[in-house]
Amino acid sequence: MRGWTELEGPVVRLPRDGIDTDQLIPARFMSTPRSEGYGDYLLHDLRRGPDGTLDPEFPLNASRGPILIAGADFGTGSSREAAVYALVDAGIRAVLAPSFGDIFAANAANNGLLTVALAEKTLAALRPVLRIDLVSRSIVSGPTSLRFDLDEVTAQKLINGWDDIDLTRAHQDAISAHRETIPAWVWPTCVRGGKGAPP
């Protein structure tokens, strides 16, 4: 995964609350390997009619851009990371919304997708083209610039395209030490290779 530091581009507005993960990507597309790309599945049933044709009025069909501004409760629902894949594969790098589902936000950070929670009023005032800077944590909208919160780890992951596995390897000694302190009852009984006693 490639990281990014700065992003400039047009905004697509999706003025709906509660865009949940089942809408972001219907379950029937999730058996596809990621290498085939998930962009076409993004909001599939909202963007397309029952016969599969694109609705020209729908926001993401009418215009494209790397920044999505959406309503509250964006990405609530299931843990399916495919919801993030669909956004990223459709070229979106940042979602700005009043609130997000917890698991969705964690999944986003692991795939180079920035999520920023901002008040509805603030979102409404943003211009059609924005610049986002991860280092200064700022969104530049015309003459104004606003700061957003982003913890250092998430910022580093987005900027460097890092994977947590790399970060965790540095703690291998602590992991091994912890493993030794685990009580015997935790290890499942009757499992091949398990430490638990057989009955």
Partner 1 sequence: MSGRTLFDKLWDAHVVARAEGGRSLLWVDRHLVHEGSHHAFAKIGARGETLAQPELTFGVMDHYAPVRRDVPPMPAVLKMMERLADNAALHGFTCIAPEDQRHGIVHVMAPEQGLTLPGLLVVCGDSHTSTHGAFGAFAFGIGATEVAHVLATQTLWQQKPKRMRLRFDGALGPAVTAKDMALHWIAALGTGGARGHAIEYAGPAVEALSMEARMTLCNLSIEGGARCGMIAPDAQTLAYVKGRIHAPTGAAWAEAEADWAGLYSDTDAVFDTEVDIDAADVAPTVTWGTAPDQALPITATVPDPLAQPETTAAKTRDTLEYMGLKPGQALSEVTVDRIFIGSCTNARIEDLRAAAMVLHGRKSVVPGLVSPGSAQVKHQAEREGLDNVFTEAGLDWGGSGCSMCVGMNGDTVPAGQRCASTTNRNYRGRQGRGARTHLMSPSMVAAAAVTGRLTDVRMLLAGRA
| Strand 67-70, strand 6-14: pairing | parallel
**Cα 35 from Cα 120, distance rounded (Å):** 36
Please, which residue, 16 or 127, has the CB nearer to partner 1?
16
For the window 87-126, what string marks contact with partner 1 as x by the rule CB under 8 A?
------------x-xxx--xx--xx---------------
Cβ contact 68:132 at 8 Å: no
CB of 59 to partner 1, least distance (A): 15
**Cα 42 from Cα 29, distance rounded (Å):** 10
User: Considering only CA atoms, which of 112, 117, 165 is closest in space to residue 4?
Assistant: 112
Cβ contact 112:4 at 8 Å: yes
Among 13, 70, 76, 139, binds partner 1 (CB under 8 A): 76
CB of 19 to partner 1, least distance (A): 10
**Cα 108 from Cα 147, distance rounded (Å):** 20
Among 10, 39, 128, 194, binds partner 1 (CB under 8 A): 194
For the window 6-35, what string marks contact with partner 1 as x by the rule CB under 8 A?
-----------xx-x-xx--xxx-xx-xx-
Please, which residue, 62 or 175, has the CB nearer to partner 1?
175
User: Considering only CA atoms, which of 7, 2, 1 is closest in space to residue 135?
Assistant: 7
Mutual angle of helices 152-160 and 102-109, in 10-degree steps: 50
Please, which residue, 27 or 125, has the CB nearer to partner 1?
27
How many Cα neighbours within 13 Å face the side chain of 23?
12
CB of 170 to partner 1, least distance (A): 9
Query: Contact positions toward partner 1, by CB under 8 A?
Result: 17-18, 20, 22-23, 26-28, 30-31, 33-34, 45, 50, 72-73, 76-82, 84-85, 99, 101-103, 106-107, 110-111, 151-153, 163-165, 167-169, 171, 174-175, 178-179, 182-197, 199
